[in-house]
Structure formats: structure tokens, C-alpha cells
Amino acid sequence: MSVLSLISSGVWVGAITPVESSTIVKQTVLIPSYDNTTHIKEYPSEINQSGPSDMAKEGHFTYSVGTKLLGNLIVIGSSATTPDNSTRRHPKIDNTQYIYEGRPYGVGSAVGLKDSAVSNISFATGYRYTERGYSADVECIYNRSTALRIGREFPSRIFAVEGYLPDSTGSRQYSEYVGHSPDAIVAASVTYSDDSIRRYVGIAAGESYRALNATQCTVDFTPRLFNVSVALAGRNITVTPLDETDDFDPPRNITRTVVRQFELISNDLTNFYESVLGNAFLSSIRAWNISYNANGAATEEFATLRGLENSVTAMADSMLAAYGAAQVMVGNFTEEREVDITVETLVIGQRAYIIAVAILNALTVAAVIEEAIRTKGWRGLSSQDFTDSEWLLLSGYRGGQEAAESERYRLHHLNNIQRKPVSKPGFSTSQFSPGEVRVGMGLETRVVMVPATGGRDGRMAVKLSTRVK
């Protein structure tokens, strides 16, 4: 009974102890809408010619992504490859202090901006939703036959970069860079074409960045649905690609404008002494060598292309997200999206223990019902109260008397058992009559004649069966 009591107590503790749990609450938040993309276009790199912008406590939001967010984009490009092969973590381009775990894929830009309906819910730990976006797939090669070249100096300290790209239409690309010499120039040329869905970035570089010279990257943008998971406590954002979807910007105005920013960045960040964009690319390449090429098995060209791919991918993702944030904060082009919010709760007991208690209670009730039927409603049973000490003492005394009397009779019986040997020659059992009953000393003795020695020679033995009278 004590074991059953311990088991029952343990089960009940598990059934009534409060435990942490969670529940899902539905709510809506605002995310970027791309039904109107009139503000997403290339703006000149000139003062007073930039696109619409806004400064708020959440950060700086602008449609001139390639010129107004240069610092953030360069940091992203230079850290695109982690030197320890770990998952890349990088902050959003705003003041919300949210951090992307892995690739952002250009989505999740509204997190921390228009989600107060979620953050105001008590004990909310996170939320998730789906968002449309573009997956930028980048592949870089060396195009030794490229026509893109850095020209001669004309006029003083001005160098023209011109040539055709695979998606050039009609005229060749042309831009001008400054420098003491062409050695410090890294020119990223991008065709302004409405016809090509695939985008190309061609790079012409001087001697100081010769590893980047004649590299060419293709950028394919695939429209997809993405799952965006937000952890509120740690301010982490995790983006997971889902299935492909219909193109939400068929003219590809967004993707064309994103890739054109590489040309603006390379032009703005090339000075007389170095190329800041080129340095960012080289930083990613060095990190790739540290992380994946410690034994030097990969060639310099292979390592260069992989590090360059990572930089272009990371910067394209971040520029897509920057345009999404501008749609929300500057253009006010938004749409509602239902989100699943995870809210912490306390529940009484664990399911397994609750089921065990229910089964235990059911068995107890069944046992009580069975006993009631067996005793016909407990009629004729003595009154017993185990909580009454007087009753316990009296019961113990009476029980002791009965036990002592029973033991006395047992000992008397053992001392008075008559044992007779097997009949031998000269010994007669005639003094006993089969079935004879003798009474005396409170005992009743019955005489039984049984064959002796297995019945051989007709010998008989006397068996006395005695019981208390």
C-alpha cells in the first residue's frame, strides 16, 4: 500500500504542477507591397538629385539605396563570407537592432517597423509569416574575351571604362573613373536593359585588383514565397525559401534597379588611391580562403570567384530589403499579412500525468463499486474507524488475546499428538478401533488405520488426526 501511495502522490504532483507551454495567436502586420513601384528606379549620384528618403527613429530609409546606404552595403559585402564557416549573422540596415540569421533573401524588411500589434502582446516570444520576394542566384566566371576595358587617361586623371556586356542592347557601356593611374580602379558595369531578365555585372579592374579583372557575374532573380520567423527576445530573423510563385513585378523594375546599384557604388567609392568596393570583394575572398581553402587545394581563381559570388549575393539581398523598407516607411506602400504569434502560457500539469490520474481515479471508483456490490452495500460489517486511537487500542488488545489463545491451543495440540510405531511382531493394534473418536483436554482425536510399508506383509499403522475441540 505504501508503494501505491508513493506512486499516486508522484502522479498527482505531475498532474497539478504548473508547467510552461505556448499557444498560437493570430494577428496582422504590415509588409511591403510592390503593386506600385514608381519610386524604385535609378537616381543620379548628384546632390539634390536623390530619390525620396525619410529619417525616423527606426533608421534612414531611402530609394537611393546605392548612394545613401553605401557604408552599410560595403560592410555587408566585406563580411559576406565567414572565416570560420559559421552561419552568417548581420544586422538589418536600420536602427531596429534585429539580426538576420543566414541569408535575408531581401525579405523581412518590415520587422521592427510596422509590427507593434505583435510586440504589444504580453508574453509574445515570436511570430512568423510568409512574404513574397526574389531569390538572387549568383554565378561568377572569368570572361577573358570580354570587351569591357579601362581606357587611357583623358583628360587628366580621368579614365573611361567602356565595352559591351552579354545583355547590352544597342550601345556599349560607358562610365568614367578618377585616379592617379588605372591601378586602383574597380569598375562594375551593368547594362540598363529592359529586355533581359538575367542581369550581368562585368568587372574591369586595375593592377592593384588584378584578381578581379575580367570577372563576370550573372544574377538570376527567382520569385518565391519565403517563411519569415522572428524571435522577439533575441531580435533574430530567420528566412526560409519556400515554393516558387508568380512574378509580382513582371517588368522586373526592382531587380534591374538593384543590379544597377553596383555600378553606382563602384563609381562613387573609387578614389585616387583605392577602390572601397574592390577592398570589400577582396575581404570576402580572403575569408573564403581561410574558411574553405586552408590547405591551398583550390586555385586562386576558384577562390576569387567563390568569394565574389558571396559578396554580390549578400549585397543584392540587402538592397532588395532596403527597397522593401523604403516602400513601407517612405512610400507607404503596404499590405496586411496574417502572422502566427507564439505566446508563452502556464498550464496545470502535464498531459501524461493528467491521463494517469484519470485512469487511477477510474480504477479506484471501479474498485469501490465492486466492493459495494460484493458486500451488498457494506451491510453487516463491523464499525471500523482507523482514525480513532481508542478504537485502535481496543482492537489491538482483543486481537492479541485471540492470537494468544490460538497459540496456546496449537502448542497443546503439538505436545499431545500420540505417535504409534508401525506394527511389529508381538505388537497389536487391536487397542485402537478404526474411526474411533476420543475427546479429552479440549482436543478431538480420530483414529485412522493406514497400510504400513506400502501395504507389504499386511502390516498396519495407526494415524491419529487431532484437532481442537
Phi, psi of 437 (to 5 degrees): -120, 125
SS3 state of residue 59 = strand
- pLDDT, tens only, 175-206: 999 998 999 999 999 987 777 778 899 999 99
**Strands 173-178 and 236-244, sheet pairing:** unpaired
| pLDDT beyond 50 at 270 | yes
Lowest mean pLDDT among 105-109, 227-231, 313-317, 424-428: 424-428
SS3 state of residue 329 = helix
**pLDDT score for 114:** 86
**Residue from 87, 86, 88, 132 nearest 109 by CA:** 132
- pLDDT, tens only, 33-68: 999 999 999 887 777 788 999 999 999 999 999 999
Whether residue 285 contacts residue 210, with contact meaning beta carbons closer than 8 Å, is answered with no
Q: How far apart are CA 76 and CA 92, in angstroms?
A: 10
DSSP letter string, 47-75: TT-PPPEEEETTEEEES-HHHHSHHHHHH
Q: How far apart are CA 463 and CA 432, in angstroms?
A: 10
Cell numbers standing for residue 267: 563609381
Instruction: Give CA torsion, residues 429, 435, 436, 441, to 10 deg.
Output: 110
Residue with cell 529586355: 195
**Residue from 315, 324, 299 nearest 111 by CA:** 324
Q: How far apart are CA 293 and CA 284, in angstroms?
A: 13
**pLDDT score for 397:** 66
Q: How far apart are CA 168 and CA 190, in angstroms?
A: 9
Residue scoring higher pLDDT (351 or 207): 207
**Mean pLDDT computed over 443-456:** 58
Cell numbers standing for residue 286: 580572403
**pLDDT score for 358:** 76
pTM score, whole prediction: 0.72
Q: How far apart are CA 299 and CA 290, in angstroms?
A: 13
- pLDDT, tens only, 11-29: 555 555 665 666 888 999 9
Q: How far apart are CA 328 and CA 183, in angstroms?
A: 42
**pLDDT score for 371:** 76
**pLDDT score for 208:** 95
